[in-house]
Amino acid sequence: MKNLLPLTLCVSLLVAAPVIAQDSLSLQACIDLALKNNYAVKNSQLELTAALQTRRAAVTNYFPQIGAGGLQFHAEQPLMAFGSGSESMGLLEKGSVAYVGAVQPLFAGGRILNGNKLASLGVEVARSKGARTRDEVVLQTEVQFWQVISLQEKTRTIRAYEQMLDSLQSQVEDAYASGVVMQNDLLKVRLQRSEVMLNKSQLSNRLTLASMAFCQYLGLPLNSDLVLRDSLAIDGPPQPLRVDHSRALTARSEYKLIELSVEAEKLQTNLVRGEYLPQVAVGANYQRLKFDDGDSRSFGMVDGTISVPISDWWRGSHELSKRKQQQRIAENNFRDNAEQLLLQMEKSWQDLTDAYTQVLLGEEAQRQAAENMKVNQDSYDNGLTPVSDLLEARALLQQAQDQAVEARAHYLTQRSHYLQATGRLQH
């Protein structure tokens, strides 16, 4: 691939609004911008923060539950009365009660422990989802990056073709004025030039839209003067990129997520089982009482409770059976998804090798088209070839150059896909 020369691309957005200058951006700089500004990445960070707060909240269940309260009343008449007539006496006409208490669970069927494990698992899930989101952002950044560069390279090619046609048209017009060539030759050149101008306009529109879309993805103003610093150079065949797919599997964020889903189902089963186990707790409370005009009294006490949900065991057996089925479904999905990830890796590798073959074929076609162009140019200069043959040879060269550019951009895109499939995209 020595003939794949490096190039520096400067893509100016063709919009009426004033442009905003930007420093030249490498691929890594574009990735950094996308990761910084992408809303999906920002949301994944917020989800991680929320998961961390959920885990901190779950930890508080290990500590005693403390409560306090009070009551004050004044009845229309005493709540209790003794005697009759003028010798009657009433009690509890007014009073106040204040209390503070604490309950410490000793055993809750494992629900506190498993609840904390599930909350910690939620943090790992949020982190794995965040990694998957970053992978997708990096991949899409690279795909759009190479698309813009390939369109810019095609623009360079068609401009060179346009310049050649301008020169050829000038020569043919002079020759026609001198009566050396027929008007038909001049019309062929003009027709070819009109077709090139149309293709150039369409390519310019595609480049403008692709550049604006890339700016939006990077979090830049749509009218930014986007300058990309990289090339479509390819460093040899893809074989050094090949890795053991079974080992690379565990590096995938998707694999981690389906692995965590199985663990989450197990914890959910344990939580359901805990609802039908005995609950044991101890408590302590302090109360202060005052009724009517008597002195206030204070006292404290400790207690212990045990609760056995006997009547729920029948229903609980069915709930546990349901949970076990869901757990088995998660385990089956884990195996199925793991196999699909391996298939995805293999397909991505096949796509990469096919893309490299297309690069080789494109380069060979470009060399042959260039040689054909040289032969026809020499023949035309010596008056041995009509202008139509020269136009056809130049069109074939331009087509071969475009196909070679597309093949190189496609290869670099497929390389990104394979690195992502094997968990090696750089953030």
Mean pLDDT of 138-164: 93
Query: Is residue 150 a contact partner of residue 405, using CB atoms and an 8 Å limit?
Result: yes
176: left (phi over 0), alpha (psi -120 to 50) or beta: alpha
Reduced to 3 states (helix: H, G, I; strand: E, B; else coil), residue 186 is: helix
Mean pLDDT of 61-81: 83
Q: What are phi and psi of 7, to 5 degrees?
A: -145, 150
Give the model's pLDDT for residue 353: 97
> What does the block give as tokens for 249?
């599997």
- Give the single-character DSSP code of 109: T
* Strands 224-228 vs 20-21: parallel, antiparallel or unpaired: parallel
The burial of 104, by beta-carbon neighbours within 10 Å (0-12 exposed, 13-18 middle, 19 or more buried), is given as middle
- Give the single-character DSSP code of 296: P
Reduced to 3 states (helix: H, G, I; strand: E, B; else coil), residue 25 is: strand
Neighbours of 135 (CB within 10 A): 20
Which has more pLDDT, 341 or 24? 341
Give the model's pLDDT for residue 90: 62
Whether residue 424 is predicted with pLDDT greater than 60 in this model: the reply is yes
Of the pLDDT bands very low, low, confident and very high (cuts 50, 70, 90), residue 215 is very high
Range with the poorest average pLDDT among 35-44, 220-229, 246-255, 335-344:
220-229
Chain CA centroid to CA 141, Å: 11
Q: E strands, 178-256, where? A: 224-228
Give the model's pLDDT for residue 15: 29
Give the model's pLDDT for residue 77: 76
Whether residue 220 is predicted with pLDDT greater than 70 in this model: the reply is yes
Reduced to 3 states (helix: H, G, I; strand: E, B; else coil), residue 259 is: helix
Highest mean pLDDT among 79-93, 149-163, 169-183: 149-163
Reduced to 3 states (helix: H, G, I; strand: E, B; else coil), residue 19 is: coil
Question: For 271-300, how does the pLDDT look when each residue is reduced to its tens digit (9 = 90+)?
Answer: 888 888 888 889 888 998 888 777 888 888
Of the pLDDT bands very low, low, confident and very high (cuts 50, 70, 90), residue 427 is low
- Give the single-character DSSP code of 77: S
Residues composing the chain: 427
Give the model's pLDDT for residue 171: 87
Query: Is residue 327 a contact partner of residue 269, using CB atoms and an 8 Å limit?
Result: yes
Residue reference for tokens 């344990």 = 270
Neighbours of 312 (CB within 10 A): 12
Helices 111-177 & 27-37, crossing angle to 10 degrees?
130
Give the model's pLDDT for residue 181: 81
Which has more pLDDT, 213 or 316? 213
Half-sphere exposure of 253 (CA within 13 A, CB side): 17
Of the pLDDT bands very low, low, confident and very high (cuts 50, 70, 90), residue 4 is very low
Of the pLDDT bands very low, low, confident and very high (cuts 50, 70, 90), residue 85 is low
Question: For 188-199, how does the pLDDT look when each residue is reduced to its tens digit (9 = 90+)?
Answer: 999 999 999 999
Question: For 361-402, how does the pLDDT look when each residue is reduced to its tens digit (9 = 90+)?
Answer: 999 999 999 999 999 999 988 888 889 899 999 999 999 999
Question: For 308-340, how does the pLDDT look when each residue is reduced to its tens digit (9 = 90+)?
Answer: 887 777 777 888 898 899 999 999 999 999 999
Integer Cα distance of 225 and 302 in angstroms = 75
Whether residue 342 is predicted with pLDDT greater than 60 in this model: the reply is yes
First to last CA, the chain: 28
Range with the poorest average pLDDT among 26-30, 104-108, 185-189:
104-108
- Give the single-character DSSP code of 106: E
> What does the block give as tokens for 350?
């096949």
Identify which of 115, 129, 103 has the alpha carbon closest to the alpha carbon of residue 46. 129
Of the pLDDT bands very low, low, confident and very high (cuts 50, 70, 90), residue 82 is low
Integer Cα distance of 29 and 137 in angstroms = 13
Query: Is residue 256 a contact partner of residue 123, using CB atoms and an 8 Å limit?
Result: no
